[in-house]
Amino acid sequence: MSHTQKVGAVGEELSVRFLVKKGYDVIDRNYRRPWGELDIVAKKKGKIHFIEVKTLSYKIVSSETSKIKDFFRPEDHVNDEKVKRLGRIIQTYLGAKHVSSETKWQFDVVAIVIDVEVMKAKIKFLEDVTM
């Protein structure tokens, strides 16, 4: 497993813990099809939440580079093309799971920045991102 994959796996696990603490019921993880993947599918108050997890890690090596951490925005990696692909996989999931067209759903992003030096993570939850 590459470093990027390890960071992603840690980010997903942190996201699940965060969501459960917020009252979400995680109903699916890593739903894959050839045209896309859903990181987390959760439910809260009858609404389905399709959650994309973006995680970045960094290690500060000097006070000069400590300013770099302010530029880390994992959510910036959820661009228009990514959202378009996610829209396709969401529709696939809804059909495959026979979810009623009456069921409300939304797309959310969990953005995580991990400081590997002090082993702390900052989590930002962006709800109802427009598709």
Query: What's the CATH code of the domain at 50?
Result: 3.40.1350.10
* Residue 99 resides in a domain: yes
Write the Ramachandran bin of 62: left for phi over 0, alpha for psi from -120 to 50, otherwise beta: beta
Parts of the chain with a pLDDT under 70: 59-72, 131
Global pTM reads: 0.85
Single-letter amino acid code for the residue at 73 = R
* Residue 29 resides in a domain: yes
* Residue 110 resides in a domain: yes
* Residue 131 resides in a domain: no
Number of residues assigned to the chain: 131
pLDDT score for 83 = 83
pLDDT score for 100 = 94
Number of domains composing the chain: 1
Domain holding 50, by residue range, is: 3-126
